[in-house]
Amino acid sequence: MSADFLSNMVQSVRPSATIGISQLAREKKARGDDVIILSQGEPDFDTPAHICDAAEKAIRDGKTRYTAADGIPELKEAIRAKFSRDNGLDYSSAEINVSPGGKAVIFNAFLATLNPGDEVIIPAPCWVSYMEMTRLCGGNPVIVPCRADADFKLSPEQLEAAITPRSKWLVLNSPSNPTGAVYSAAELKALGEVLKTHPQLWVLTDDIYEHLVYAGKFATLAVVVPELKSRILTMNGVSKAYAMTGWRIGFAGGPEPLISAMRKIMTQSTSNSSSVSQWAAVTALNGPQDFLENWRNVFQERRDLICRALNGADGIKCTPPPGAFYVFADCREALKKRDQTDLKFCEDLLEATGVALVPGTAFHLPGFFRLSFASDTDVLRDAADRICDFV
């Protein structure tokens, strides 16, 4: 195949670093190497039994056919109930989208709205896919580097300065992947004041880590600034909260015209998310929620353990993140000593110790690495020992 058979678009897009590194590590492991994969953000818990039972029942009951492209009514109802119960947000079922994963929600929303040259404002450090998805959909990502001493959060002044007549979306991700930063209601309100004065700008709030907040309180823009709800897409999913990453169910609430445009794209692309996964998600959202708190407590213990251990490593510094399950560690001193970049550091670390991490460069902040602490404490202790020895 000649190189120009591939589209210019796909040639300009970078593959996902989180997926790439984790795949590399899995292959190493399959070859028999002693590998610890802390590069992919997924809970190590099994999907709870009552959710698996619901999926099994769906299969037995013949719920194995096409469904409405953007979700079965029962799941839309469960999502409406979730938004109401957890957030105090009211959406009609025509304002709900179900896509095969949170990523697909974002992709469908961007594809439905971006014209060539439209800008998407992305505060950084940011998850690896916002920028590339923007480009895949023809838009221009506008990365706004946020300051470490502001906990990597976007300030109203930075937002104002980033807005141009071509700005179409702002992406807000709280708790944040990779930093774990959590925006308070007051901080969202301040951003909201700026947004109110720019009526062409919409906001995608990626709330996928909603249930993993250790300090402070989760807040989402559509609740804090209801006047903006008519131009907010509130995105979430069952992956991280219910340990259902492989089931691929993401969802969003937003204005009906956008939801309907996203549905049109789905009718011509993926069609529906897996019918069985949708029934499992109904049970996840409608079933018992008490285990979420236990899981959060487990994550918090792991967070504290790994932060203590990493702070004992030569040239590595980290503060316990208030949310999500990532430590975004400053390894600039260690890099200086080794005279290498974060990319090379992570490559060498994997080669020498078998620990897979993601370099900060993938999240638009070199000099750092991201470690997912969604693993057992013994595994984390072992990984920390290996990292300490390595540096």
Q: Cβ closer to ligand GLU: 15 or 73? A: 15
Rule CB under 6 A: is residue 237 a binding residue for ligand GLU?
no
What's the residue count for the chain?
391
The site that binds ligand GLU (CB under 6 A) totals a number of residues, namely 9
Nearer to ligand GLU, 134 or 158 (CB): 134
Helix, strand, coil share (%) of the chain residues, nearest 5: 50, 15, 35
- The only residue of 7, 12, 15, 19 in contact with ligand GLU, by rule CB under 6 A: 19
Q: Based on CB atoms, which residue is closest to ligand GLU, 192 or 360? A: 360
Work out how close the CB of 1 gets to ligand GLU at its nearest, in angstroms, rounded to a whole number.
27
State in angstroms the smallest separation of the CB of 127 from ligand GLU.
Answer: 6
The least CB distance from residue 264 to ligand GLU, in Å, is 25
CA distance 192 to 385: 44
List the one residue out of 273, 231, 339, 290 whose CA is nearest residue 76.
273
Chain centroid to CA 65: 29
Q: Which is nearer to ligand GLU, 40 or 311 (CB)?
A: 40
- Non-local (6+) Cβ contacts of 348 within 8 A are 340, 390
In this chain, which stretch among 91-99, 121-129, 294-302, 304-312 interacts with ligand GLU, using CB under 6 A?
A: 121-129
Q: Which is nearer to ligand GLU, 80 or 240 (CB)?
A: 240
Taking contact as CB under 6 A, which single stretch among the options 11-19, 104-112, 144-152, 162-170 is the one that binds ligand GLU?
Answer: 11-19
Q: Which of 23, 40, 260, 361 binds ligand GLU (CB under 6 A)?
A: 40
10 class by beta-carbon count within 10 Å (0-12 exposed, 13-18 middle, 19+ buried): exposed
CA distance 190 to 288: 35
Tokens of 187: 């901080």
Q: Which residues contact 224 (CB under 8 A, 6 or more apart)?
A: 185, 188, 189, 192
CB of 39 to ligand GLU, least distance (A): 7
Closer to ligand GLU at the Cβ: 192 or 322? 322
Q: Which of 21, 36, 41, 241 binds ligand GLU (CB under 6 A)?
A: 41
Q: Which residues contact 193 (CB under 8 A, 6 or more apart)?
A: 156
Q: How far is the CB of 248 from ligand GLU (least distance, A)?
A: 11
16 binds ligand GLU (CB under 6 A): yes
Q: Parallel, antiparallel, or unpaired for β 119-124 and 167-173?
A: parallel
By the rule CB under 6 A, 15 interacts with ligand GLU:
no
Does 214 participate in binding ligand GLU (rule CB under 6 A)? no
Contact assessment for residue 91 and residue 253, using Cβ atoms and an 8 Å cutoff: yes
Q: What is the closest distance, in whole angstroms, from the C-beta atom of residue 349 to ligand GLU in the complex? A: 17
Tokens 């970049």 identify what position? 341
- Only one of the segments 1-9, 122-130, 140-148, 197-205 lies at the binding site for ligand GLU (rule: CB under 6 A); that segment is 122-130
Binders in 125-144 for ligand GLU, by CB under 6 A:
127-129
Can you point out the beta strands (E) in 68-207?
Answer: 96-99, 119-124, 140-145, 167-173, 202-206
How many Å apart are CA 87 and CA 175, to the nearest integer?
15
The CB-of-332 to ligand GLU minimum distance in angstroms stands at 22
Of 107 and 169, nearer to ligand GLU (C-beta) is 107
Q: Does 354 bind ligand GLU (CB under 6 A)?
A: no
Q: Write down the least CB distance from residue 14 to ligand GLU, Å.
A: 12
Which tokens belong to 206? 């990626």
Write down the H helix ranges in 175-274: 185-196, 221-224, 256-267
Residue 249 sits in the site that holds ligand GLU (CB under 6 A): no
Q: Is 177 in the site for ligand GLU (CB under 6 A)?
A: yes
Q: Please compute, for residue 216, the number of CA atoms within 13 A of its CA located in the half-sphere on the CB side.
A: 20
Q: Nearest residue to ligand GLU, using CB?
A: 41
Positions in the binding site for ligand GLU (CB under 6 A): 16, 18-19, 40-41, 127-129, 177
